[in-house]
């Protein structure tokens, strides 16, 4: 919970009453590696802060899984449309590692915003950050496959060592053969020291 409070405090100082409320309301939840946090068709009832671990958000079309997000410690995750509209999810969320999360339900979040109007600032800023992060991700996916892979190597290198490699072709919107070829080329360049 301390890491979540630090994230919020980086935005603005929290009042003592809000800290007390969050400590009483936000609950720890653990998920085991391979456990589904949300399945397609369920309603996303909680928003989570990921204290430790790695999660994957993906959808499935014609038996093909498409990874849209790989999120790690310090990230907040939901099924966006499902959570905000309280409608069935069109994606799945699964733990790729054992995870410790801190969660609050949709109703509790709404009640918190009504009881503590200042909490809308945190909600707005975090929403803006993830909107910008999503826009950046969409921009990266329009680049050449080599540039997409280079972005992950330079900006998210721990994902390549933590997440199963077979997830990256869909995460980077490329074929398996393109991913394998680019990854091999990168490893050769790295060994040669270029």
* 3-state SS record for the chain: CHHHHHHHHHHCCCCHHHHHHHHHHCEEEEECCCCEEECCCCECCEEEEEEECEEEEEEEECCEEEEEEEEECCCEECCHHHHHHCCECCCEEEECCCEEEEEEEHHHHHHHHHHCCCHHHHHHHHHHHHHHHHHHHHHHCCCCHHHHHHHHHHHCHHHHHHCCHHHHHHHCCCCHHHHHHHHHHHHHHHHHCC
- Last residue of some domain: 91, 114, 132? 132
Nearest to 26 by CA among 53, 47, 52, 8: 47
Is residue 44 domain-shared with residue 63, that is, in the same domain?
yes
> CATH number of the domain that 66 lies in?
2.60.120.10
Is residue 68 domain-shared with residue 146, that is, in the same domain?
no
- Last residue of some domain: 108, 132, 156? 132
Task: Measure the CA–CA gap between 136 and 115, rounded to whole angstroms.
Answer: 34
Q: What pLDDT sits at residue 66?
A: 95
Q: What pLDDT sits at residue 186?
A: 82
Domain that holds residue 147: 141-194
Q: What pLDDT sits at residue 193?
A: 55
Is residue 110 domain-shared with residue 145, that is, in the same domain?
no
Domain count for the chain, please give it: 2
Is residue 31 domain-shared with residue 97, that is, in the same domain?
yes
pLDDT in tens, the chain (194 residues): 999 999 999 999 999 999 999 999 999 999 999 999 999 999 999 999 999 999 999 999 888 999 999 999 999 999 999 999 999 999 999 999 999 999 999 999 999 999 999 999 999 999 999 999 999 999 999 999 999 999 999 999 999 999 999 999 999 999 999 999 999 988 766 655 54
Is residue 73 domain-shared with residue 93, that is, in the same domain?
yes
pTM of the predicted model, to two decimals? 0.92
């Amino acid at each position: 919970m301390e890491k979540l409070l630090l994230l919020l405090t980086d935005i603005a100082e929290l009042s003592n009453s809000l800290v007390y409320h969050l400590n009483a309301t936000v609950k720890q939840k653990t998920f085991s590696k391979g456990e589904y946090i949300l399945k397609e068709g369920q309603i996303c009832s909680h928003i989570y802060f990921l204290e430790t671990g790695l999660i994957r958000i993906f959808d499935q079309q014609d038996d093909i899984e498409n990874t849209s997000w790989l999120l790690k410690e310090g990230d907040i995750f939901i099924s966006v449309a499902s959570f905000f509209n309280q409608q069935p999810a069109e994606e799945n969320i699964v733990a790729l590692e054992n995870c410790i999360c801190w969660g609050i339900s949709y109703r509790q979040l709404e009640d918190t915003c009504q009881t503590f109007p200042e909490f809308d600032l945190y909600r707005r800023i975090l929403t803006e950050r993830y909107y910008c992060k999503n826009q950046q991700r969409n921009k990266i996916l329009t680049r050449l496959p080599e540039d997409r892979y280079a972005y992950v190597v330079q900006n998210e290198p721990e994902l390549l060592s933590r997440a199963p490699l077979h997830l990256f072709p869909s995460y980077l919107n490329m074929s398996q053969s393109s991913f394998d070829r680019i990854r091999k080329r990168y490893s050769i360049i790295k060994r040669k020291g270029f």
